[in-house]
Structures are given as C-alpha cells and as structure tokens.
Amino acid sequence: MDERVREHAAVLVDWSARVEAGDDVVVSVAEDAHELGVAVAEALGERGANVTTLYGSAEVSRAYLKGAEAGSEGGDGDGDDGDDGDGAPSFDDDPAVERALFEAADAYLRIGGGRNTTASADVASETRQAYAKARQGVREARMDTDWVSTVHPTRSLAQQAGMAYEEYREFVYDAVLRDWEALADEMAAMKDALDRGDEVRIVTERDDAPDTDISMSIAGRTAVNSAASVAYDSHNLPSGEVFTAPYDTEGEAFFDVPMTIDATRVRDVHLVFEDGEVVDFSAGAGEGALASVLDTDAGARRLGELGIGMNRGIDRFTDSILFDEKMGDTVHLAVGRAYDACLPEGESGNDSAVHVDMISDVSEDSRLEIDGEVVQRNGTFRWEDGFEG
Amino acid sequence: MDERVREHAAVLVDWSARVEAGDDVVVSVAEDAHELGVAVAEALGERGANVTTLYGSAEVSRAYLKGAEAGSEGGDGDGDDGDDGDGAPSFDDDPAVERALFEAADAYLRIGGGRNTTASADVASETRQAYAKARQGVREARMDTDWVSTVHPTRSLAQQAGMAYEEYREFVYDAVLRDWEALADEMAAMKDALDRGDEVRIVTERDDAPDTDISMSIAGRTAVNSAASVAYDSHNLPSGEVFTAPYDTEGEAFFDVPMTIDATRVRDVHLVFEDGEVVDFSAGAGEGALASVLDTDAGARRLGELGIGMNRGIDRFTDSILFDEKMGDTVHLAVGRAYDACLPEGESGNDSAVHVDMISDVSEDSRLEIDGEVVQRNGTFRWEDGFEG
C-alpha cells in the first residue's frame, strides 16, 4: 500500500473527524475506495474506536432505485403499489435501520471513489428526489454526527478530471496531505479580516476576459475557517477555504473556471448584479443550464456565499466541487442558499433550493479589497512575502 | 449481467428471506460479490423493501483487528490501553451502531465472496475471540432477524474448490437455482421418517475404505427440513439437508470426504464410538487437528448432528461447509454442539464449544436404516425410482 493512503486515513480520522477511543464510527466505502477503507479501518482499530462499514456503491444505489421504478410501474396512484401518482415510486419515510444507524453514530466518514461518476445517469430525477425526500430524518441524523466527506483517487475520478491516473493520485495527495494546522492559522487571518470588514470588492482586469468589478456587503456576517476538521465546523477533506454570506451585491463578475450544472458543462459565466440581484447574465457554454438555476426561485438570483480558496495544493480544475472551490488563488461566489454558520444567531440569510458555486482565478491582474484596503493582490495575501499593496 | 445472478437474487430475497414490502433489510456485500449485491438491491427495490448495504470486506475486518492489536501493544494490562492483560486487545461490548442496526432490521442477507479466503490469516486467534466475545449481543440481534447466508461465485472460492472460475460458477448456480419447493417436499418425507423413528443405522462396505457400521438413537428428537428458507428455519442458500440430534452412538464410521479444521486439511477420519463417546480415532492427514477438536471439552466426543445431504445440484467437494454438507448422496455426522431446533422444548442436547461436520459418500455400497428398515440404499431413497429395498 502506498504510504500516502495511510497518511490520508490518519488525517481523516485524527485531524478531520477527531475520533477518540470508544467512538462509534460509520465508514462508507465506495466501489473503488477499498484501499483507503482498509487504511481507515486500521487507524480506527488503533485508536480504539468501533467501526461499522457501509458499502457506498453508486451501482447498488442505482439498482435499488431502478428496481423501485420497475416495482411501481403500471400503478394506479393509490399508494398501495409503491407509486405516489406522479410517476415516481414512493419510499418509506426514514427507514428504521438507517435512522438507528446514524442516531447511534458519533462520526460518519464518507469515502467516495466509484467506478463511474455517471453510474446513476439513467435514474429519473423524480425518483432521486422522492428517495431523498423520504430520508430527511436520516439526513439530519447523519449531519448531527461528526461527518467528513473525502475521496480516494480512482480511475473514474481521474477521467472526470481529464487526467492520467498516476497524475491524479499526485493531485489528490497534494490537496489532502497539507500541514492543516499551519493552513488553519493562515485562514484564521483571512477570517479575521472578513469578520472585521463591512464591504468586499473584487476586481480583475485581464486582456483575455471580461473585467470583474463587484462589491458586496458582509457587515454583521461571520466567516467560517473551513480547515477540513469538524473542530472548525468543516466537513470536507480536502478543504481550505474561508467563506461568508454576502448581500447587497453590485457590479459584474466573470468566472473563468468551468463547472458542471446538472450534467451540463458551463463555461465563461458573466453575471451583472443590481440591488443585490442578478439582472443580466451570459455564458460561453451551457447558458440554458445557468438560466434554469437562476430561475429556480427568488433567492437563486442573490449571492449566498463568498469563498476564498486557500489550498495551494489544489492547482487545477478537476470538475469536482470538493476540490475546485478550495483551489488556491481563486475566489468563488455562489448564487442561492447561504450557510447558517455565517449568520447572526436567529437571522436567516438568503434562502433558495439551489447553491451553485462559480469560480474565478485571481492569480493575476486581480485584487480583493476589504473596506477599501487590498487584502490579496494577484493571488498573494498581505501577510505573505511578495505582497504588493 | 449473467441472468443467473438475478435468479440467485430472486431466490435469496423471495424463497429464502421471504422479504415483503416495507421490510428493513440489511445486506452485507463481500469484496468480489458486487454483482450479486447489485442484483439483490434491484430485487429489494422492486419488492418495496428498504435496504442498508454493509461492506463485508475480510480485508477491512483484518485491518481493523490488526490496528487494534497494534494499538494495544505495550499495554500494562490495566484495561486503559485497550489490552485486557492476556495479550489480546480489548473491544467495547456490543457497540451501539451495530446493535441498533440489527435490532431495527427485519432481515439480514450476507453475501460472501471475497478475494482471498485466508485474508485474515495473520490475525491472532485471541484477537478474533476477544472481538467475537464483545459482540454477543450484536450476534443475538442478528440471529433474531430473518437472516440468510449465501455466496457469490468468485475466483477466490473457485481456487479454494480447486476449480476453474467458469466451472465453479456452474457449480454454484447448479446448487442454488433448484426447484426449492419440490426439494422441500422431498425433504419433508425424510424428516417424517426421522421424526417417527427411534434408531438410525448407517452401513457402508467398500473395498477401498474401512467399513462404517454405526447406530444412534434419535427417539424424541425432531428433524429440521433445511430447505434454504427462513420459513423452514433454514438460513443457508444453498441448503438441502435434513438434520437431527442423535445420541447413544455405538460403532465405527469412516469419512471419505476431506475437510479443513483450523486451516489444516484433514482426510480419511475414522471414529470409534462406545456408550455415545469417541473412544478411538485416526486420520489419514491432520490427525493433530482432529485430536484437538475432540479434546476441546466433554461434548466434543459426542455427536451433535446427523445430517442427510439431499441437494443433488452439489455433486463434488469444494472445501466449503456451506456446500459440502448438503451434497446429494452423502451423510454427515458432527461432533460437538447440537441444534436446539432438534430437541424437545426445554431439553438441552449435547453441549460443546465446537461443532465439526464430517462427511461420508453413501452413493455406493451403502445403506441407511431407520428402526431396521432401509430408507436409502446406494444413494437412492425408498420413494425414488430404482430403489432396491
């Protein structure tokens, strides 16, 4: 076994999930994530934790959902035949085993890495939605644990990233095997700046792309130092971003990093904001998918998140939001739902059924200002060597 | 997917586990049993059951136990360091997640089929025992479900059987895809004969092997029609045996089918019984392993089971007790523990920490008598064409 698999497991168990002796840990292992599953089990045994291992197979899930579709075909909509009348199968609410499992768990470690990122492509979206809707209690119980989501580098994820397998493994371990303590300290400086500030302005002026000049209020909002650990209320490994919940956005922004929305590749998004709302938009590709996001509901035209990517182990776009939004020298803005952690107690932020992140490279011809003061120029933060205020 | 995988899943879900809509089903999928796991999930979706899928990986289990061994090294035996003083790591009793999982489950389907049948060979037996001992409540909760154990044909099991992979797949499907209803009816005739009888005598007289002539009492005992279904109190797929709990054994028996005891191949076992106990024994190979079984405790020298193999889809020895003891035209005797199902209410049968099955081919030069009447001669039962009383 590559020693980095064991190191990945140690970061996941110790830094991210903070597992202690006696903890009940549920681990979900995807089809091709066996090796990391083995390393995690070994680490959990060593720490004196208890482990229950789920098989997080996309093909098994797909088969179950396709079976449910077949079982509900020809139904009369009376609820007796597993068909709730809208064509989608009906599912029992919060099945006892799943609920009991997560309610009893202290931590949940999800190890992604299947054999085919589009393994469930032929399941009707109504079926998925019906399944998800019937599992809200299960999901809440799962979110109440110290949960962490990570991936094992697989050929399928390499393919999605457009990379060779060996190359992709280097990429993943560069992203995951950081000095998290040091990065958390550095991100704390960014969090402080955002917490103290009232207004953020992002400017990029590049010859080869439309300009960005966008301002937003962050007064009264609290930034999250997402340092890949439940101790920081951060549930992704890798992580490495600081994010907050902006409002009253004005100006325009160009996003040069491509993204995938509902299986459609979307590129070169341009948004124009007035009075906090998107009033005009365009995309070089996938404009229809973008339009349908923005038309979801009222909140879908307002920003829910401003995130500063600070993980310099991530140096390229791999079509996976787990990595892309944490890329060093990028910022991202998300239209849609805001995270509660960024809001004052009792206040509700932007609400929406969607949350779609859009990413800009800020490594060149770019600056980020807080209350008129430059905090990052051309990717370099003001506390770093080489910063030019 | 080979259509037989789907047929196997249907037998498992419908005939064996009797799953109904709304049931909470836990499925454990071994490393190389993915395909059958997919087919079972599809069938469960179609039936309207709920499914939670465990990863039954021997390598993950081994890693956890090795981790626990490493974590308890250098302990002082005070219980604080995960070492209970005898060198084995200590484990929490009945961890909450595992217990809750099985307590909430209606059925448990275990699909074996790993990549290496000796994947845990380097785990100390003290560690395994400590782990098993700490999970008695979990095991009881699991046995309280409608549980069924089966295997998906894998290369590793083919290797253990000494067969080519394609050949082994044919073997498994021949054994599993029976007309179970018809076989259950035929086995019911055997069960009736045993239930009505007081004494069983087995005689084989072959030129190439020591004679068998052994008698045992079965008066007051109830035979189990093990028809691969929870409806018959039978939890293996394949099954196909009728068994009871004999006592007062006299005579000698020779077992020509080899077996594996604690990783030692044992062949040509010969046992001599007087007053119900083994008073002399020998083996052509592995006599030491046999001796250590017989010396385990007082019950280990008495019979706990007489079984009649009636699954003619199983026509060869494959070094797997799941198949071997159900082979058509064989009988097996087990030293050690008797099954409660065979005993009158409130009566306890032969008790022992062990239960080791030993198998004889009875297809030639052989007869099985109940109360002096021949029930099976040269493998043919008295209700079959060609029977020679």
Quick one: B298 and B218 in the same domain? Answer: yes
Quick one: B226 and B319 in the same domain? Answer: yes
Kindly state whether residue A388 falls inside one of the protein's structural domains: no
pLDDT reported for residue B54: 98
Where a domain ends, among B113, B145, B176? B176
Q: Which residues of chain B lie closer than 8 angstroms to A74, CB-CB?
A: none
Kindly state whether residue A387 falls inside one of the protein's structural domains: no
> Of A357, A350, A177, A186, which is closest to residue A258 (Cα–Cα)?
A357
Q: Which residues of chain B lie closer than 8 angstroms to A52, CB-CB?
A: 54, 95, 97-98, 101
Buried b (16+ CB within 10 A) or exposed e, A105-135: bbbbbbbbbbbbbebbeebeeebeebbeebb
Quick one: B133 and B48 in the same domain? Answer: yes
Between A67-76, A82-91, B120-129, B148-157, the lowest mean confidence (pLDDT) is in A82-91
Tokens coding A336:
């849609």
Kindly state whether residue B242 falls inside one of the protein's structural domains: yes
Q: What angle do CA A224, A227, A229 make, to 5 degrees?
A: 105
Q: Are the CB atoms for B111 and B56 separated by under 8 Å?
A: yes
ipTM: 0.90
Average pLDDT of span B358-385: 96
pLDDT reported for residue B74: 58
pLDDT reported for residue B333: 98
Higher pLDDT, B348 or B90: B90
Q: Which residues of chain A have pLDDT under 50?
A: 76-79, 81
CA distance A21 to chain B (A): 9
Quick one: B38 and B97 in the same domain? Answer: yes
Of B37, B67, B91, the CB nearest to A41: B67
- pLDDT higher than 80, residue B77: no
CB within 8 Å: B53 and A55: yes
Average pLDDT of span B148-159: 97
> Of B239, B240, B248, B241, which is closest to residue B221 (Cα–Cα)?
B248
At CB < 8 A and 24+ separation, what contacts does B361-365 make? B361/B256, B361/B257, B361/B329, B361/B330, B362/B202, B362/B204, B362/B329, B362/B330, B362/B331, B363/B329, B363/B330, B364/B206, B365/B204, B365/B205, B365/B206
- List, as one string, the DSSP characters of B32-44: T-HHHHHHHHHHH
pLDDT reported for residue B85: 54
Tokens coding A100:
């009991």
Kindly state whether residue B246 falls inside one of the protein's structural domains: yes
CB within 8 Å: B46 and A67: yes
Tokens coding B55:
């990863």
Tokens coding B148:
């069924």
Give the CATH number for residue B137: 3.40.1830.10
Output the pTM of the full model.
Answer: 0.91
Of B21, B71, B98, the CB nearest to A45: B71
Q: Which residues of chain A lie closer than 8 angstroms to B92, CB-CB?
A: 22, 50
Where a domain ends, among A133, A152, A176? A176
Total domains in chain A come to 2
The residue behind tokens 């083995």 is A38
CB within 8 Å: B55 and A99: no
The answer for residues whose C-beta is within 8 angstroms of residue A65's C-beta and 6 or more apart is A89, A120, A123, A127, A128, A131, B45
What confidence tier does B86 reach under pLDDT thresholds 50, 70, 90? low
Residue of B nearest to A37 (CA): B60
Other C-beta atoms closer than 10 Å to the C-beta of B262 total 12
CA distance A28 to chain B (A): 8
B14, B23, B40, B60: best to mutate for the A interface, most A CBs within 10 A = B60
Q: What is the pLDDT of residues B163-222, one digit of tens each?
A: 999 999 999 999 999 999 999 999 999 999 999 999 999 999 998 889 999 999 999 999
CA distance A352 to chain B (A): 30
Quick one: A16 and A156 in the same domain? Answer: yes
The residue behind tokens 């990429």 is A171
CA distance B102 to chain A (A): 8
Range(s) of the domain holding residue A187: 180-381
Q: What is the pLDDT of residues A211-233, one digit of tens each?
A: 999 999 999 999 999 999 999 99
Kindly state whether residue A389 falls inside one of the protein's structural domains: no
Quick one: B229 and B333 in the same domain? Answer: yes
CB within 8 Å: B48 and A71: yes
> Of B145, B152, B144, B197, which is closest to residue B176 (Cα–Cα)?
B152
Q: Which residues of chain A lie closer than 8 angstroms to B29, CB-CB?
A: 55, 57, 60
pLDDT reported for residue B79: 47
Where a domain ends, among B176, B210, B239? B176
Quick one: B74 and B145 in the same domain? Answer: yes
Quick one: B226 and B162 in the same domain? Answer: no
Quick one: B212 and B159 in the same domain? Answer: no
pLDDT reported for residue A74: 57
pLDDT reported for residue A222: 96
Average pLDDT of span B263-292: 96
Higher pLDDT, B95 or A261: B95
Other C-beta atoms closer than 10 Å to the C-beta of A36 total 27
Quick one: A129 and A157 in the same domain? Answer: yes
Q: Which residues of chain B lie closer than 8 angstroms to A64, CB-CB?
A: 41-42, 44-45, 51
On the CB side of A275, how many CA atoms lie within 13 Å of its CA? 1
Q: Which residues of chain A lie closer than 8 angstroms to B105, CB-CB?
A: 97
Residue of A nearest to B54 (CA): A54
pLDDT reported for residue A1: 86
Q: Which residues of chain B lie closer than 8 angstroms to A44, CB-CB?
A: 64, 67
Kindly state whether residue B62 falls inside one of the protein's structural domains: yes
Quick one: B169 and B221 in the same domain? Answer: no
What angle do helix axes B136-143 and B96-104 make, rounded to 10 degrees? 10
CA distance B81 to chain A (A): 9
pLDDT reported for residue A85: 54
In percent, how much of chain B has pLDDT > 90? 90
Residues counted in chain B:
389
Kindly state whether residue B335 falls inside one of the protein's structural domains: yes
pLDDT reported for residue A87: 78
Quick one: A249 and A281 in the same domain? Answer: yes
Kindly state whether residue A159 falls inside one of the protein's structural domains: yes
